[in-house]
Structure 1
Amino acid sequence: MDRRQSLKWLGGLTAFILPLAIPGTSWGGSGAAATTGLSKSKTEWADLLPAAAYRVLFEEDTERAGTSPLNQEKRDGTFICAACYLPLFDSSTKYESGTGWPSFWAHLPQSVATKTDFKLFYPRTEYHCTRCGGHQGHVFNDGPKPTGKRFCNNGVALQFVARNEKLPELRT
């Protein structure tokens, strides 16, 4: 076995073992996280959503930093999944992270599921809506107190509902 083959073998072995060695992670980096209740085909989602939202939510794309109007949203309210309308974040947990994406230090209970993403060759924690499996963003350990978490969300994967407005019915 030459050096190149050895490195490929070692890289493959690391990609297999690392997710098993990190508590709370799973194999993979593609596909949806566990969902609880709403299952539609990719074609159905593509018919319901704007193209950019579909690409982020169901093809795990990322919008360009600084492009979401939700970065400037300062009103009291709830940020919901743009696909199924499940409430994900309360506005009281939103903060300015300086990253160019809407960021939150906590999510609403049982609203997101995580998995390990190796798309950049190192592990990142990706999170999805627990209801429809739509990709929202990644969570990092550089956020403010009290959690120290930064849920870095794609703006097109969210909608904002002001506190004085009625939340939409969950999409079926």
Structure 2
Amino acid sequence: MRPQPPRRTTHTHGTPADLLVYDRWGRSGRPVVLLHGLRYDRTMWWPLAAELGDDITAVAVDLPGHGQSAPRAHCGVDDLAEDLATLVYGLGLRRAPILIAHAESAHVSERFAARYSAHRVVTIGGTGPARLDDVPEPYRQFAVPQRSPDLPAVYRDWLTDALPRSTHVGAEHFPHLRDPAGFAALLHSLH
């Protein structure tokens, strides 16, 4: 029996000054780009991505200054949408992606969709305080915010604009952690 490749692989994109780190699952099927909200990182998507199966290519990106991506002095929505488009194009994905945006990352997903090809944009969560009561204990570790005093200044444009309302899935901050299999089924229905 031959060894199976890992389901999740970690990659980098860009130069050291604008480095983005991302995880990828799958090699074919409708691409799904997963964007976390401010103060979180790409690991918040791991339980969901594990449920998606092999017929979806999932890409979870660390926003600048989050997780393992390089910090920036300023992170404008337009610049990040362009960086994301370059990353998606470089992956050789042959179909327009579904963008899943948590909280404030809805800004970049909407800008991406306005400028580039996107199959659908789905936003989850909000900007109020996140409650972990509905998240099962094993998944709470993926919903712990980072404490970085520099992030509000770097993302100041994101914090002053109202969140766009694309296809919005509930008011919960973490529906993908509350029920990863159910959220994966929802994504499969969006093909």
Q: State whether TM-score is above 0.5.
A: no
TM-score of the aligned structures, taking structure 2 as reference length: 0.23
Q: Which has the higher contact order (CA 8 A, sep 6+)?
A: 1
Q: Which has the higher strand share?
A: 1
Bigger radius of gyration among the two? 1
TM-score of the aligned structures, taking structure 1 as reference length: 0.24
Q: Which has the higher helix share?
A: 2
